[in-house]
Amino acid sequence: MQFVDKNYRSNSKQELIWYLKVFCFMNVSSIKTATVHSLTVGNNKKQGVKMKINAYAASEPKGKLKPFSYELGEIGSEQVDIKVSYCGICHSDLSMINNDWGMTTYPIVPGHEVVGEVVATGNAVKNVKVGDKVGLGWLSASCMSCQECMEGQHHLCSKNESTIVGRHGGFADYVRGHWSWAIPLPEAIDMSKAGPLLCGGITVFNPIILAGVKPTDTVGVIGIGGLGHMALKFLKHWGCEVIAFSSNPEKKEEILKMGATKVINSKSPEELQSIKGKLNFILNTTNVTLDWDSYLSVLAPKGKFHTVGAVLEPMAIPAFSLIMGEKSVGGSPLGSPALTKTMLDFCVRHNIYPTVEEFPMEKVNEAMEHLENGKARFRIVLKN
Ligand code: NAP
Ligand code: ZN
């Protein structure tokens, strides 16, 4: 038994603690290696071949991404290799490069919004086959046997493996994952825009289901970046009235075009008071400290405040702001593989896609700068 690639996997105790604190994800250790069932790269079909991967990696916090190659060992019996067509850039990639969460191992190959084609499968892979179009997001494996996995909540498995934590991700020509997280893409999907749905998309879709948001609800989204703009589009198609909270006045027209009925300055407690007690649900997608108590006052009785933004500081939530009005606060990571599939079908049915800016994979550093400077409109996608 061995890890996906023992050469670069790290299990240091400190990282593990951070890992648990931030996303409750742990390393999976139950993937057995086996002989390769088939490995098809280009037109070559080979047995037991080791793959050389060409990728982009940072070797230190805030470091630039440089060409980097590494070898993947033999494919595990339940693993698939994916040829990366496109990979979205999530703010979490930036946070991981910068080691904001204290769980980065260097060199790091970021990238966890992959869409591409299956080129190899281990001999016990289910559900996908060579040639299938699939997506791979934040998670790349689950144990498949714990209570959560057995309930179909694979994203809550305590032995999960994250695509860019202690292993290498999708800023590369190929990436590997367990078949359960290689999500089959609907035939009609637009591959050039689908990547961001695999992390950002499912991360904001899951709370809509968790909170039981109704089409008749009035809801709010804080931060109209990569995740926020997808949340806005989902909630609009869900039937809700959507209020956007943004700190950037330059985005206002585009946000209204996406379907928001109103844009409120996310940093102005005074402006927030204009909608006091009106919202049934608020989704936070920022990672900064805002005046959370003002947001709780904007909730209607029984309203729910939900964060997916990885706010770095502890969030100040006064107890009485929850008690009076039976309000609640929650958070979540991505969603299950089954819900991801459901979301992808929903997107194709309603033609919901992120608004993307495309960069060639070689221009990954320019793309990262564009995101870091708050210029992305609204999600950057790297093309191979
Ligand atoms: P992003 O594209 O950079 O968007 C974040 C948005 O937050 C910005 O566009 C901006 O929106 C707002 N913002 C940024 N700095 C701000 C400030 N100083 N004051 C007020 N608003 C500010 O990032 P993303 O990819 O959407 O990711 C958002 C967060 O979700 C990150 O923390 C990321 O790590 C996290 N994340 C969590 C999960 C999960 O599993 N829960 C999954 C994916 C990502 P405006 O310009 O509209 O103000
Ligand atoms: Zn992400």
Same domain as 240, residue 102: no
240 part of a folded domain: yes
63 by Cβ neighbours in 10 Å (0-12 / 13-18 / 19+) ranks as middle
Query: Residue 139 Cα, ligand 2 centroid: separation in angstroms?
Result: 10
Same domain as 194, residue 214: no
Angstrom distance (rounded) from CA 169 to CA 174: 9
Q: Domain total for the chain? A: 2
**Pocket perturbation via mutation, ligand 1, pick of 24, 25, 90 by most ligand atoms within 8 A of CB:** 90
CATH code (residue 101): 3.90.180.10
The residue segments making up the domain with residue 56 are 13-199+354-383
Angstrom distance (rounded) from CA 36 to CA 46: 8
Pocket residues: Cβ below 6 A from ligand 1: 90-92, 95, 199-200, 203, 223-228, 246-248, 251, 266-267, 285-288, 308-310, 333-334, 376
336 part of a folded domain: no
Nearest ligand 1 atom to alpha carbon 371: 3
Residues near 209 by beta carbon (within 8 Å), at least 6 away in sequence: 335, 339
Same domain as 87, residue 119: yes
Nearest ligand 1 atom to alpha carbon 228: 26
Query: Residue 113 Cα, ligand 2 centroid: separation in angstroms?
Result: 7
Same domain as 227, residue 100: no
Same domain as 280, residue 227: yes
Same domain as 249, residue 157: no
Write the CA distances from 361 to 71, 107, 196, 372, integer angstroms: 20, 18, 15, 17
Ligand nearest 203 Cα, by number?
1
Query: Residue 234 Cα, ligand 1 centroid: separation in angstroms?
Result: 17
Ligand nearest 267 Cα, by number?
1
343 part of a folded domain: no
Same domain as 221, residue 194: no
Angstrom distance (rounded) from CA 359 to CA 157: 34
Same domain as 194, residue 205: no
347 part of a folded domain: no
Nearest ligand 1 atom to alpha carbon 333: 40
269 part of a folded domain: yes
**pLDDT tens digits for the chain (384 residues)?**
222 333 333 334 344 333 333 343 334 433 333 333 334 443 334 444 678 999 999 999 999 999 999 999 999 999 999 999 999 999 999 999 999 999 999 999 999 999 999 999 999 999 999 999 999 999 999 999 999 999 999 999 999 999 999 999 999 999 999 999 999 999 999 999 999 999 999 999 999 999 999 999 999 999 999 999 999 999 999 999 999 999 999 999 999 999 999 999 999 999 999 999 999 999 999 999 999 999 999 999 999 999 999 999 999 999 999 999 999 999 999 999 999 999 999 999 999 999 999 999 999 999 999 999 999 999 999 999
Query: Residue 336 Cα, ligand 1 centroid: separation in angstroms?
Result: 22
Query: Residue 200 Cα, ligand 2 centroid: separation in angstroms?
Result: 5
Whether 364 contacts 341, CB under 8 Å:
no
159 part of a folded domain: yes
Write the CA distances from 283 to 35, 231, 234, 273, 303, integer angstroms: 45, 8, 12, 17, 11
pLDDT per residue as tens digits for the range 346-377: 999 999 999 999 999 999 999 999 999 999 99
**Pocket perturbation via mutation, ligand 1, pick of 19, 21, 227 by most ligand atoms within 8 A of CB:** 227
Write the CA distances from 220 to 33, 119, 158, 259, 277, integer angstroms: 46, 41, 31, 12, 12
pLDDT per residue as tens digits for the range 2-43: 223 333 333 343 443 333 333 433 344 333 333 333 344 433
CA nearest ligand 1 atom 5, residue: 225
Same domain as 211, residue 193: no
Q: What is the pLDDT of residue 49?
A: 61
CATH code (residue 258): 3.40.50.720
5 part of a folded domain: no
Same domain as 103, residue 164: yes
What are the structure tokens assigned to 251, written together?
């985005």
Same domain as 208, residue 185: no
Query: Residue 14 Cα, ligand 1 centroid: separation in angstroms?
Result: 26
283 part of a folded domain: yes
Angstrom distance (rounded) from CA 75 to CA 241: 47
**Pocket perturbation via mutation, ligand 1, pick of 94, 242, 285 by most ligand atoms within 8 A of CB:** 285
What are the structure tokens assigned to 277, written together?
């007690």
Strands 36-41 and 51-57: unpaired
Angstrom distance (rounded) from CA 56 to CA 48: 25
Same domain as 104, residue 178: yes
